[in-house]
Amino acid sequence: MAIVYDNLEREPAQAALPLVNARDLQRIVAWRHGAAVSAGQFLAHVEQVAALLPEAPAAVNLCEDRYAFLVAFCAIARRGQANLLPPSRAPQAVEEVMAAHPGSYALGELALAPAPHGYRKLPALDVDPAPALMAMPAIAAEQVVAIGYTSGSTGAPRANAKSWRSLTASSAGTRAMLAAVAGERFHVVATVPPQHIYGIEMSVLLPLLGDVGVHAGRPFFPADVAAALAEVPAPRVLVTTPVHLRALVAAGTALPPLAAMLSATAPLPPELAQAAEQAFGAPLLEVFGSTETCAFASRRVTVDADWTLYEGVCLHPQPDGTLIEAPQLDAPVVLADIVSLHDAGRRFRLCGRNTDLLEIAGKRASLGDLTRRLLAIPGVEDGIVFQLDEADAAGVRRIAALAVAPLLSEAGILDALRRAVDPVFLPRPLRRVPALPRNETGKLPRTALLALLG
């Protein structure tokens, strides 16, 4: 195959940014079905798919295979369209997002039944597509290439538009952080779905920015994670979540040597981080961010509780949260997180969220700390403490909890919790459940929690 690009040196017109940062078109961008996919092959796939897409403002990217998602994501962007990323793949969630974007269609590599209205199936992505002659593809810097939705863990999902400049700027910070521990060239295996903004930053955009190859699968069970890691060469980076890490540690499955592990989507308990590093012999890094901001800080919790900001990021604490300025943001964003700054503003300590902090009878606590204490009870496999919407006669919003603890009773869990927290913060009701309604990234949508509480 011989693909020739005629403008590797010149700047694309109209403030455009290259689709792939590749001086060597033979470099590996993905591993799929045991075979390496080069940057040249990937670009040919993108052009092949882009030529088949209809005229539309946006498309729901439903690809499950990570490489197919990457190709579809870039092909949609090449057509000047936005990738719609629903909070879940549930048919209702997909329909709601499509209804909010009239004229949109859906795209995926599988034959779905039932399929969303206007669903289009990707062609087979052959390992060696037909040769093509083209200019190096570029995307207008301010083009909206993705519209991500929050998970709904704090209420109804909200849409957040991302430009090509914004996504590449945020992922550049993450790549620099990973390169410091894994080297300039590394390979990623991710347990998180590509549709989530964390999955996009860590397993979709990284291969476009530099010498990073990504495994096309999304392994779930510990043995599958080990097998996927074995299919890519060292140095390896495992992108995952606290839920998956807990399962990997509990299973005791041996993993191929890792250069680093990366976690996000939920707070990482220091005890779990310590156990994971001991089990797998690699540093466990945690990234801090949101759908609104993308990643903007990182830490290694086994070494330091403070977070280090990415280059160019500034935080401004406010009474109701923190105002964030970052290279990937067109305007400052206020998050509900309460922080204290250190080292001339380059590092911060997370103190909680304004929605997380509780004050009852003159006493204070946080939902995060209460959840941590619930999870520390022997026999509790999973759990969450959260605040209900309604208030009691004194105007105080009640606290509830759900716990996965097959060998314990609800009374036994409360007795154990009573020894760890002030009585005014005991969750009532506390319900024992078979499993928590976690989504694909381990988050807990509030509506699902309330439904399970009954």
For 99-116, b/e burial (b = at least 16 CB within 10 A) is eebeebbbbbbeeeeebb
- The pTM assigned to this predicted structure is 0.80
Phi/psi for 99 (5° steps) reads -65, -30
- Helix ranges (DSSP H) in 215-269: 222-230, 242-251
% of the chain with per-residue pLDDT over 70? 90
- Residue entry with tokens 């997002």: 97
Residue 4 predicted with pLDDT over 80: no
Burial 137-170 (b: 16+ CB within 10 A, else e): bbbbbebbbbbbbbbbbbeebebbebbbbbbbbb
CATH code of 28-161, in short, is 3.40.50.980
Model pLDDT, residue 151? 62
pLDDT at 127: 63
> How do residues 252-290 score in pLDDT, each as one tens digit?
999 999 999 999 887 888 989 999 999 999 999 999 998
CATH of domain 363-453: 3.30.300.30
- Specify the range with the lowest mean pLDDT, choosing from 2-16, 89-103, 419-433: 2-16
What tens digit of pLDDT does each residue of 134-145 get? 567 889 999 999
Q: Supply the mean pLDDT for the chain.
A: 87
pLDDT digits (tens, 9 = 90+) for 323-377: 999 999 989 999 888 899 999 999 999 887 766 767 675 666 778 888 888 988 9
Confidence of residue 49 (pLDDT cuts 50, 70, 90): very high
- Tens-place pLDDT, residues 364-413: 677 888 888 898 899 999 999 988 877 665 556 788 999 999 999 999 99
Asked whether residue 24 carries a pLDDT value surpassing 60, the answer given is yes
Res 290: pLDDT: 87
For residue 341, give the nearest of 360, 368, 370, 318 by alpha carbon: 318
Q: 210-227, pLDDT tens digit by residue? A: 899 999 999 999 999 999
Model confidence at 89, pLDDT cuts 50, 70, 90, reads confident
Q: What is the distance between the alpha carbons of residues 427 and 439, in angstroms, rounded to a whole number?
A: 23
pLDDT for res 323: 94
Q: What's phi and psi for 175, nearest 5 deg? A: -65, -40
Strand order in the sheet with 307-309: 35-38, 28-32, 212-215, 186-190, 236-240, 260-263, 284-288, 297-299, 307-309, 347-353, 337-342
CB 196 within 8 A of CB 149: no
- What is the band of 6 on the pLDDT scale with cuts at 50, 70, 90? very low
Looking at domain 166-353, its CATH architecture is 3-Layer(aba) Sandwich (3.40)
pLDDT tens for 174-216 read: 899 999 999 999 999 999 988 888 889 999 999 998 899 999 9
Domain ranges in the chain are 28-161, 166-353, 363-453
Largest Cα span, the chain: 75
The per-residue pLDDT for 336 is 83
DSSP per residue, 65-121: SHHHHHHHHHHHHHTT-EEEE-SS--HHHHHHHHHHSTT-EEEESS--SS--TTEEE
Same fold, 28-161 and 363-453: no
